[in-house]
Structure 1
Amino acid sequence: MRALPLSLAPGQDLRGALEELARAQNLSGFVLGVVGNLSRAAFQCPGQASPTVLEGDLEIITLNGTFGADGVHLHLSLSDGACQVWGGHLEHGTLILKGAQLLLGVLEPSSLQPAIPAMSPQANDARVEIAVLPGCPWCTRALRLLSSADVPHQVFRVDDDQAFAHWHGRSGMNTFPQVFVDGALVGGYDALAAMHERSELHGLR
């Protein structure tokens, strides 16, 4: 993996800029860090029918997730002028105010060879597998949900290029967490939360 700095100017669309960069240079990777502010933020909260939109002097707190030529999956948290924190799935229409500096972790094409990642100590006969990114808040939520539902699960940390390639090859997804039941892909956190709401997790104990 190599580090790639990215500077965004006032008025640029945060999500659109990352999508354009990934498509133009055929890049895949992670957002490692960001500092900057926004004049407008659009983000999708879980369970809501439409994105939440805020305007003003908004400070970016975190931006986590993945990007690739086939799309992005990014989670934004920010603070408004009253120091209230907001967050959700990053949507188009999130505009830079004065500037933003991002540090991207780009996966090298030569390293994208399937490999079996190490497994965290969990029950080997668990029906649920979950692949997680270190520092990913939605991965943390998914793990907390499985634990609170008392569902045995195997946890796989995706912390290098080979692990990313393995899970991308298995699921076709660039985003995390990735949840599998009996070897079949369920989806990410939203899909897992929907299973919980339908009381389907109880059958996996």
Structure 2
Amino acid sequence: MSIEVIVVRLTKGMDLKQSLANVVEKHSIKAGSIASCSGCVSELKLRLAGAENTLTKQEAFEIVSVMGTLTREHQHVHISVSDREGHVWGGHLMEGTIIDTTAELIIHSYSNLEFTRAMDDSTGYTELEVQSSN
């Protein structure tokens, strides 16, 4: 399997979710994943478990982890951050999560695969489908 490594540094004021979508578009990623993301955010917006509540906070947070699957049409991304006291907040990344000083992002793109999403009636969500693009 061929893997392309894409490294991007995001800067203060950039929206993390929108920036990921821009990287996917710029690099024509058909199937990708987030390998690493280190940095900090000043504004956090998450969809919490159960998809009924959102959490919005404005304070300094360190990014603990970011992971997700990247398709052309959709980036399914989860993030965990820690506050000044070490409390961890996590959930589904939403637009409105704003980079504070920096975020160092490493993405893997898989040229032999194509990720798509299709509605799964059993979950009520669009779920990942994987095809070989040989």
Aligned to 1:137: none
Among 108, 117, 124, which residue is 1:173 paired with? 117
Aligned to 1:9: 11
> Secondary structure of 2:117's partner?
coil
| C-alpha distance 100-84 of structure 1, shift in aligned 2 (>3 A) | same
Among 31, 35, 38, which residue is 2:38 paired with? 35
Among 83, 94, 101, which residue is 1:80 paired with? 83
Residues of 2 paired with 1:90 and 1:18: CA distance?
Answer: 11
Q: For 1:76-115, what aligned pairs fall within 5 Å after superposition?
A: 76-108=79-111, 111-112=112-113
- TM normalised by structure 1 equals 0.54
Residues of 1 paired with 2:50 and 2:35: CA distance?
Answer: 27
What is the identity, as a one-letter code, of the residue corresponding to 1:97? Answer: D
Consecutive unaligned residues of structure 2, counting only runs of 5 or more, are 125-134
- TM normalised by structure 2 equals 0.81
Residues of 1 paired with 2:26 and 2:7: CA distance?
Answer: 16
User: How far is 1:92 from its partner?
Assistant: 0.2
Aligned to 1:26: 28
> Secondary structure of 2:25's partner?
helix
User: Identity percentage over the alignment?
Assistant: 25
Q: For 1:129-168, what aligned pairs fall within 5 Å after superposition?
A: 165=114, 168=115
- After superposition, the C-alpha distances for 1:95-150 in whole angstroms (9 at most, x for unaligned) are 00000101110112xx23xxxxxxxxxxxxxxxxxxxxxxxxxxxxxxxxxxxxxx
What is the identity, as a one-letter code, of the residue corresponding to 2:69? Answer: T
> Secondary structure of 1:18's partner?
helix
Deviates more, 1:39-48 or 1:70-79: 39-48
Backbone CA RMSD of aligned residues: 2.1
Residues of 1 paired with 2:102 and 2:33: CA distance?
Answer: 20
User: How far is 1:173 from its partner?
Assistant: 2.1
User: How far is 1:75 from its partner?
Assistant: 0.5
Equivalent pairs counted in the alignment come to 121
Which one scores higher on RCO, CA 8 angstroms, separation ≥ 6?
2
Consecutive unaligned residues of structure 1, counting only runs of 5 or more, are 113-164, 175-184, 193-205
User: How far is 1:26 from its partner?
Assistant: 1.8
Q: Highest Rg: 1 or 2?
A: 1
Which one has a larger percent strand, Structure 1 or Structure 2?
2
Which one has a larger percent helix, Structure 1 or Structure 2?
1
Residues of 1 paired with 2:103 and 2:42: CA distance?
Answer: 12
| Contact persistence 1:23–1:68 (CA under 8 A) | no
Aligned to 2:132: none
